[in-house]
Amino acid sequence: MTDFEPGQDPVRHDHRIASLKRRIAEIEHGEWVRNGRRDPKADENTRLGNRVMAELIGGLAGGALVGWFLDRMIGTSPWLLLVFLFMGIIVAFRNIIRLSTQRPKQ
């Protein structure tokens, strides 16, 4: 069975059609970028990057804030600040390593 209409020649591979399809794909991609639509895979990587940054900043800021507060309450300045800052760094790096070793979803 053929997939062309009776009385017409079958269409063979034409380089002009392939070139046209490639140009249409490039123009559609340009429209996606111009309209602000993004590639879903890029969005997933952006979310992962933002999560890593939040873990790092949160660990540092949280440890420093807790250490500073306890130093002011107990009067042991700057020792608890340093201890909790280093603990925050360790926790942040542990979480970042845990995030980076997870397998991607398929």
pTM: 0.57
pLDDT for the residue numbered 11:
62
Distance of alpha carbon 61 from alpha carbon 41, whole angstroms? 30
Above pLDDT 70, what percent of the chain? 80
Does the pLDDT of residue 13 top 90, yes or no?
no
Give the Å distances, CA to CA, from 43 to 37, 40, 48, 49: 10, 5, 9, 10
Condensed to tens digits (0 to 9), the pLDDT of residues 53-77 reads: 999 999 999 999 999 999 999 998 8
Does the pLDDT of residue 9 top 70, yes or no?
no
Residues 17-42: what's their mean pLDDT?
81
- Identify residue 86 by its one-letter amino acid code: F
Is the pLDDT higher at 47 or at 40?
A: 47
Does the pLDDT of residue 3 top 70, yes or no?
no
Residues 79-92: what's their mean pLDDT?
95
Long-range CB contact pairs, 76-82, < 8 A, 24+ = none
Domain definitions of the chain by residue range: 40-100
